[in-house]
Amino acid sequence: MSLPLAPLPPAPRAPESPAPLWPASTATPPSGGLAVGGIPLTELADRFGTPAYVLDEDEVRARARAWRAALPDAEIAYAGKAFLSRAMIRWIDEEGLSLDVCSAGELALAAHAGFPAERVILHGNAKSPADLRLALRLGVGRIVLDSLGEIPRLAALVPPGERRRVLLRVVPGVEAGAHAAVRTGVEGQKFGLPVAGGEAEEAVARVLAQPGLELAGLHCHLGSQITSTGPYAVAVRKLVALLARLRDRHGVTFPELDLGGGFAIAYRPGDPAVDPAAYADRVTAELALRCAHADLPVPRLIIEPGRWIAGPAGVALYRVLSLKTTGTHTFVAVDGGMSDNPRPALYGARYTVHLANRSSSAPARAVTVVGRHCEAGDVLAEGVPLPGDLRPGDLLAVPASGAYHLSMASGYNQVGRPPVVAVSEGRARLLVRRETVEDLRSRDVGV
């Protein structure tokens, strides 16, 4: 049902920050509260239940187009680990993006949705034989090699007389990212082969010695929630220097350079975020300059935004179950928690929370929004301002919830995972249904 909508009040957005927290379609209907995609969130909560994820299709498409416009000559590969469904695969296909997957499950879903295999990039630090065999059978565009042992393992699976295109993941020694657990551009973690010490160069030599493998270029991924373009420029300098050494040693140049993703989005007002145009200007200029100095052809750039496309397009909905004040703390318990959003417990991630079912003139007070799970660390948002007249039954909305929520969700405490609902221009449709108690019980086959 489409309603006339007034502009969203300033509270949920961050006027001081260029990075929006909410989908561009977010507004307040005449009855108060919030609406996304032309539909009041109360209507979506009543129809689909809570917790639930709401995903604005138009926001997804607009954000995909932003990268296409900023880097028209590059390959933009959506990182499916952020959020993947058949509908999301169709959207990114229609927007002309490639797809980055990291398991046979994600790859099989892409194939089931009809995504062109030649536009798929397969990642993973520990790809199983099943992962590799499926990738070869489907004919994925590139497989990213992550270790020395993976080189002969993949080569042995390539049918005689065929060649398969690969990239080699290297570690440039650039520290970037919001948390130590997601900084993957530095030595001492499980991904890739370090440039320092010569391991990356040795791996290149081994790939070039395999007749069934065609090395298309290098790949790196620096981390997640990177807020500036500086680390990417440093990575370009280090990788071009490596490319020059490889040219001098082996007499080869490579047509592709994959710089991964990790682009930050805003989760709270004032949070910085990467702007595609600024990234494009800085990185393409750095790449052209360094290649000119090294007398190298400029490789085609590949980037892998996932969170940046899906995250701000999603809003999570929760019902307030109870309020409790102990000492100086007020706890607002909701019907979801760490099973549908483990990021606060894993990384200390912090979110914005907004009252979504009504307007309130009551003064705000700082509260801690907690989940229903049997863990003291089951906290969704700490110290967030919510109206003082908040009560059980109210609907809360958490923006920037489109990435790494459902994809990281669990069945902890036998609580089913929430549904995903797509909205666009006053229409809503179910993309992923709610996981039921019967779904959970059906997997238990023991007696």
Q: Quick one: 242 and 279 in the same domain? A: yes
Q: What pLDDT is recorded for position 66?
A: 97
Q: What pLDDT is recorded for position 189?
A: 65
110 domain residue, yes or no:
yes
Does residue 374 have an active-site annotation?
yes
CATH number at residue 393: 2.40.37.10
Q: Quick one: 80 and 210 in the same domain? A: yes
Task: Please state the pTM of the whole predicted model.
Answer: 0.91
Q: Quick one: 341 and 231 in the same domain? A: no
The candidate with the shortest Cα–Cα distance to 203, out of 161, 155, 163, is 155
Q: Quick one: 295 and 411 in the same domain? A: no
Domains contained in the chain, number: 2
Which of 247, 281, 307 is the last residue before a domain boundary?
Answer: 307
Q: Quick one: 269 and 348 in the same domain? A: no
Q: What pLDDT is recorded for position 446?
A: 87
Residue 310 near residue 82, CB atoms below 8 Å: yes
Cis check for the bond before 51: say yes or no (omega within 30 of 0).
yes
246 domain residue, yes or no:
yes
Q: What pLDDT is recorded for position 180?
A: 52
181 domain residue, yes or no:
yes
Q: Quick one: 217 and 333 in the same domain? A: no
173 domain residue, yes or no:
yes
Which of 290, 307, 324 is the last residue before a domain boundary?
Answer: 307
Q: Quick one: 144 and 230 in the same domain? A: yes
The two structure tokens encoding residue 384? 């967030």
CATH number at residue 187: 3.20.20.10
Q: Quick one: 195 and 226 in the same domain? A: yes
10, with CB counted inside 10 A (0-12, 13-18, 19+), is exposed
Residue 229 backbone phi and psi in degrees, to 5: -85, -10
CA distance 53 to 419: 6
Q: Quick one: 380 and 420 in the same domain? A: yes
Which of 283, 307, 331 is the last residue before a domain boundary?
Answer: 307
447 domain residue, yes or no:
no
Taking residue 1's Cβ as centre, other Cβ atoms within 10 Å add up to 9
1 domain residue, yes or no:
no
Q: What pLDDT is recorded for position 11?
A: 34
Residue 62 Ramachandran class (φ > 0 left, ψ -120 to 50 alpha, else beta):
alpha
Q: What pLDDT is recorded for position 107?
A: 97
- Which residue do the tokens 């979504």 mark? 356
Q: Quick one: 16 and 162 in the same domain? A: no
List the domain range (segments joined by +) for residue 15: 6-56+311-442
Q: Give, for all 447 residues of the chain, the pLDDT tens digit.
A: 333 333 333 333 332 334 789 999 999 988 889 999 999 999 999 999 999 999 999 999 999 999 999 999 999 999 999 999 999 999 999 999 999 999 999 999 999 999 999 999 999 988 999 999 999 999 999 999 999 999 999 999 999 999 999 999 999 987 655 445 444 445 566 678 989 888 999 999 999 999 999 999 999 999 888 988 999 999 999 999 999 999 999 999 999 999 999 999 999 998 999 999 999 999 999 999 999 999 999 999 999 999 999 999 999 999 999 999 988 899 999 999 999 999 999 888 999 999 999 999 999 999 999 999 999 899 999 999 999 999 999 999 999 999 999 999 999 999 999 999 999 999 999 999 999 999 999 999 988
Task: Break the chain down into helix, strand, coil percent, rounded to 5.
Answer: 30, 25, 45
Q: Quick one: 87 and 180 in the same domain? A: yes
185 domain residue, yes or no:
yes
412 domain residue, yes or no:
yes
CA distance 174 to 223: 9
Q: Please tell me which residue in 102, 220, 291, 374 is annotated as part of the active site.
A: 374
Q: Quick one: 291 and 372 in the same domain? A: no
